[in-house]
Structure 1
């Protein structure tokens, strides 16, 4: 079996609000690049990657992939990810690995999870991911801690989720800390609480806010300050587990992070950690050093979410509920539409490979929508209600 073609398309799907974070605003839609690998036996493997329009970057790798056997992932990784350091991009390789594993599963008539050791759970618990929102469904903006606590209660009641995470670094640290306190009051002691300022806060601010929140029993404090040194400095001062999807988010930084004592929990990400197989490698290292693992979300659509669910289902130590922006999407590009939440969980897709199929009508529709709306990563920091705003680090 050989790969004979690599095809790429960009699509965008609208959201139910504009989502704010400390480096800008998701302007009412997410966009993804969809990859299809075609084999000489007529099988098609699906992959997905974010970060804006990645079509040109993936097509540069096409000559390295065409002619390869999709089962020979170590060789494909050497050619795609290891050959030239200044073209090395784990995100692009991960989309290719995802598609190759989808093909392998279809050849073997086995789910992708079986290629990673087999599932230990059939469904994955997910969180209520809270963002400060512009243009909510009611037309208003989130302005106070009560707005986000109300949203958290709504997601608990409608999706069944039993944990939340606040994307912080938007309002004042004190107001954001108040969100978690309100959620604890309204949802009880067993509801999981997390906060993630994405490294924006200074060490002093992160320690101050962390000390204020210690009595709430947080599941973890994610990227409280910038870099390995920032996380390590905060960790020394608090009795809250420190988590990260930023430092480290690649194998080069994993050793230094462990030596510095910078982290307690590493959030796995298929794209940062070189595909589903790379995530398994990461989890083996984390287990060796008694680090926890959780699942990071990158604003994915159904293809990548399927890969995330399959991968998470094979990791016995992944006991935290997974991140997902998914409940903000109004639709999906896979047949059947959005995967449903049931009692706070999303089921691991059934069927060979990823277990999902593209809906070509929706691909066409949301491809046209992308062409209309454009790639917002070039203007990613833009805040439509504060045109002169720009992001800062350590500014709070």
Structure 2
């Protein structure tokens, strides 16, 4: 079997609100680049990647893929990811690996999780991911801790989630801490709490807020301050587990991060950590050093969500509910539409390969929507309500 073609299309799907973070505002839609890896036997593997329009990057790598066997992922990794250090792109490789695993599963007639050791859970729990929102459903913006806590209660009631994470670094830090206090009060002691300012707070602010959160028994404080040094400095001064999706977020930094004591929990990400099999490698290292593992979300659509589900289903140590932006999407590009939440979890697909297929009509529809709206990464670090605003790291 050989790869004979690589097709890439950009699509965008509306969200039910604009989502704010310390680096800007998602402007009412998420966008992804969808790939189709075509074999000489007519089997097509699906992949997905974020980070803006990736069609040009994929086109540059296409000649390196043509003629390779989709079962030979180590060779593909060597030619795509390891070829030149300054062009290394783990995001792109991960999308290709996902597509190769989809092909392998379809050929073997088994789901991807069977290629990765077999599933140990039938469904994966997810959090209610909380953002300060502009243009929320029904109108208005989130302006107070009460607004965001009410959204958390809504997600607990409608999706059945039993944990949350606040994307912080937007409002005054004490107001963001108050969101977690309100959620603890309204949802009880067993409800999981997390907060993630994406490294924007100074060490002093992060320590001050972290000490305030100690009484809430939160699951972890994610990327409280900037860099390996910032996370390690905060971790030494508070009695709250430190999680990270930023430092370390690649194998190059994993050894230094462990030696420095930068984190207690590392969030896996299919793209940062070189695909589903790279995530399994990461989890083996974390197990050796008694680090916890959780799962990061990158605004994925159904193809990548399926890959996340297959991967998480095979990792016994992944005891934390996964991150997901999925509940903000109004639709999906896969046949059948959005995957349903049941009791806060999404079922692991059981069909061959990823167990999902593209809906051609929705692909066409949301490709046109992307062409209308454009690649927001060029303007992501802006805020339409505050035209002179820009991100500041360590400013609080």
Identify the TM-score tier after normalising by the shorter chain.
over 0.9
Aligned pairs for 1:346-385 (under 5 A) are: 346-385=346-385
Residue matched to 2:214? 214
Aligned pairs for 1:1-396 (under 5 A) are: 1-396=1-396
- Which segments of 5 or more consecutive residues in structure 2 lack a partner in the other structure? none
Cα shift at 1:382: 1.5
Cα shift at 1:139: 1.3
SS for the counterpart of 2:48 is strand
Cα shift readout 1:334-387 (whole Å, capped 9, x = no counterpart): 000000000000000120000000000000000000000000000111111001
Cα shift at 1:222: 0.2
Cα shift at 1:85: 1.1
Q: Distance in 2 between matches of 1:69 and 1:315?
A: 27
Cα shift at 1:70: 0.2
Cα shift at 1:125: 0.4
SS for the counterpart of 1:11 is strand
SS for the counterpart of 1:103 is helix
Q: Distance in 1 between matches of 2:350 and 2:333?
A: 17
Cα shift at 1:86: 1.4
Normalising by structure 2, what TM-score?
Answer: 1.00
Q: Distance in 2 between matches of 1:115 and 1:383?
A: 43
Cα shift readout 1:284-304 (whole Å, capped 9, x = no counterpart): 000000000000000000000
Normalising by structure 1, what TM-score?
Answer: 1.00
- Runs (4+) of structure 1 exceeding 2 A deviation are none
Q: Distance in 1 between matches of 2:39 and 2:51?
A: 27
Cα shift at 1:74: 0.3
Q: How many residues align?
A: 396
